[in-house]
Structure 1
Amino acid sequence: MYHLTALVTLLAILFYFFITINVSRSRTKTGVKVPAMSGHPDFERAFRIQMNTLEWMPIFLPSLWLFAIYINDAGAATIGTVWIVGRIVYFIGYSKAAAKRGPGFFIQGIAAIVLWAGTLGALVLRLV
């Protein structure tokens, strides 16, 4: 069973839900009315945090689950947790200034690459 990977998946979805609500709060705080997508730097950063996370979810989630299936649940969950921590660091940094988003992006990017490359390696080994 993949209980740990399921838990990390739910935590990633919870984090995404949190940053989605943050965009709504930022709209209210900065006065950026729907359907506008720009207008205040604080709102624009909150929106980009949400969109960048959404852009990474189709890379992260399949890689997470394939890693759990082809390698193991605990390893997937551990690396998946690192990905979430990276997204949190990204959120904190980018919320302050665009120039501060790098460390979180690096952490989550490395975690996603490890999940993807680890799965690819395990799959190739099984095919040969």
Structure 2
Amino acid sequence: MYHLTALVTLLAIAFYFFTAVNVSRSRTKTGVKVPAMSGHPDFERAFRIQMNTLEWMPIFLPALWLFAVYISDAIAAGIGVVWIIGRIVYFVGYSKAAAKRGTGFAIQSLAAIALWVGALGAVTLRLV
């Protein structure tokens, strides 16, 4: 069973939902009306945080699950938690200024790459 990986998946989805709610709150606070995608820097940063999180989900989630299946549920979940922490650090930094998003981006990128490389290596080893 993959209970830990399932929990991390649900936490990642909850974080994504949080970023979507944050965009809605930012629209209200800054006066950026639907369907506009720009207008106030605070809104634009909130929107980019949500979109960047969405852009990484198709990289992160399959790699997370393949790593769990081929290597370890617990290790996949641990690296997945690091990914979520990276996204939170990204959220906090980018919410303040675009220049402050780098640390969180690096953390989540390295976690996603570790999951992908691990899964690729494990799958490849089983093919030979």
Aligned to 1:49: 49
Aligned to 2:109: 109
Written as runs of structure 1 = structure 2, the 5 A alignment for 1:61-72 is 61-72=61-72
Aligned to 1:13: 13
Map Cα deviations across residues 21-77 of structure 1 (whole Å, 9 max, x no partner): 000000000000000000000000000000000000000000000000000100000
Shift of 1:4: 0.1
Aligned to 1:89: 89
Shift of 1:83: 0.1
Which blocks of at least 5 consecutive residues in structure 1 are unaligned?
none
Aligned to 1:29: 29
> How high is the TM-score relative to the length of structure 2?
0.99
4+ residue runs over 6 A deviation = none
Shift of 1:89: 0.1
SS in 1 for 2:118: helix
Map Cα deviations across residues 81-112 of structure 1 (whole Å, 9 max, x no partner): 00000000000000000000000000000000
Which blocks of at least 5 consecutive residues in structure 2 are unaligned?
none
One-letter amino acid matched to 2:45: R
| Percent identical | 84
SS in 2 for 1:49: helix
Instruction: Find the aligned partners of 2:101 and 2:43 in 1 and give their Cα distance.
Output: 15
Corresponding pairs, count = 128
